[in-house]
Amino acid sequence: METAIYILVGLIMLGVLYFAWWKVIQPYRKFQGKMLITCPETHQPAGVAVDAKHAALTAVQGEPDLRLKECTRWPERQNCDQACLAQIESSPQNCLVRAMLSNWYKGRSCVFCGKTFPHIDSYDHRAVFWYEQKPAFVNPEGKLVEWREVPVETLPQVLTTHQPVCWNCLIAMVFRRDHPELVLDRPGKRSH
Ligand SMILES: [Zn+2]
């Protein structure tokens, strides 16, 4: 009898977890993160973020209710009708900045060390970690540009004019830039 109760409780817990995954966590991941849309008012790119928590909680009852929690055109246009949500609704994956970066880095090589970037699925948990590592670029003038210096709305432009830099090279270059007194350049191996 006791075993039957344990099995029943286990099955109920599995059901709850399955429900939570499909109904709450999936919608949350789908809409969480910075997004790039074309502002219907200006026809220019703008950076936005959806209230992913609200989307996930409303998804429990059916369709997720989308609303913005930030936009690069705020606070001036804070009271707009958020018509850009239609773009996000029809294809959230295409608007997600982390997915855009993932696609852009895929198959490219670091401009300094030549290492090829691995393909990372933007829905994979590692992508979040990778994204946290903040990829970098070199601009056409050869200057290192860190991700946090790139306004989201300029991303389409940046991705056409800049070159990719891997995390390891970024760290090494930032260290060299900020602590030149600590960097000891070793002479390279000489061939005989
Ligand atoms: Zn590199």
Instruction: Check whether residue 9 and residue 80 sit in a common domain.
Output: yes
Instruction: Check whether residue 106 and residue 71 sit in a common domain.
Output: no
Token pair listed for 32: 């969480």
Instruction: Check whether residue 117 and residue 177 sit in a common domain.
Output: yes
**Alpha carbon of 146 to ligand 1 centroid (Å):** 14
| Distance separating alpha carbons of residues 157 and 47, to the nearest angstrom | 13
Instruction: Check whether residue 155 and residue 173 sit in a common domain.
Output: yes
**Alpha carbon of 185 to ligand 1 centroid (Å):** 18
Angle at the Cα of 132 from the Cα atoms of 55 and 171, rounded to 5 degrees: 165
Instruction: Check whether residue 81 and residue 12 sit in a common domain.
Output: yes
**Alpha carbon of 112 to ligand 1 centroid (Å):** 5
Instruction: Check whether residue 79 and residue 155 sit in a common domain.
Output: no
Token pair listed for 183: 């960097």
Q: pLDDT per residue over 3-41, tens digit each?
A: 889 999 999 999 888 877 777 888 888 898 889 999 999
Q: Contact 136/174 with Cβ under 8 angstroms? A: no
**Alpha carbon of 36 to ligand 1 centroid (Å):** 27
Token pair listed for 88: 């996000």
> Is residue 188 in some structural domain?
no
Instruction: Check whether residue 131 and residue 102 sit in a common domain.
Output: yes
**Residue that the structure tokens 């389409």 belong to:** 156
Token pair listed for 72: 């690069």
Q: pLDDT per residue over 85-133, tens digit each?
A: 999 999 998 898 888 888 888 889 999 999 888 766 554 444 444 445 6
Confidence (pLDDT) at 123 = 43
Q: At what angle do helices 125-132 and 97-105 cross, to 10 degrees?
A: 90
> Is residue 189 in some structural domain?
no
Query: Per-residue pLDDT averaged across 163-185, rounded?
Result: 83
Instruction: Check whether residue 12 and residue 83 sit in a common domain.
Output: yes
> Is residue 191 in some structural domain?
no
Q: What global pTM score does this model have?
A: 0.73
**Alpha carbon of 93 to ligand 1 centroid (Å):** 27
**Alpha carbon of 166 to ligand 1 centroid (Å):** 4
Q: Higher pLDDT residue, 192 or 59?
A: 59
**Alpha carbon of 163 to ligand 1 centroid (Å):** 11
Write out the residue range of the structural domain in which residue 57 sits. Answer: 1-93
**Alpha carbon of 105 to ligand 1 centroid (Å):** 12
Instruction: Check whether residue 85 and residue 158 sit in a common domain.
Output: no
DSSP letters, 14-83, are HHHHHHHIIIIIHHHHHH-SEEEEE-TTTSSEEEEEE-HHHHHHHHTTSSPPP-EEEETTTTTTTTS--T
- Whether 189 has a pLDDT exceeding 70, the answer reads no
| Distance separating alpha carbons of residues 42 and 71, to the nearest angstrom | 13
- Whether 155 has a pLDDT exceeding 80, the answer reads yes
The total of structural domains in the chain comes to 2
Q: List CB contacts of 159: < 8 A, sequence separation 6 or more.
A: 100, 104
**Boundary of a domain, candidates 44, 64, 93:** 93
> Is residue 61 in some structural domain?
yes
Instruction: Check whether residue 37 and residue 89 sit in a common domain.
Output: yes
**Alpha carbon of 169 to ligand 1 centroid (Å):** 4
Q: pLDDT per residue over 36-92, tens digit each?
A: 999 999 999 999 999 999 999 998 888 889 999 999 999 998 889 999 999 999 999
Q: What is the DSSP letter of 139?
A: -
> Is residue 187 in some structural domain?
no
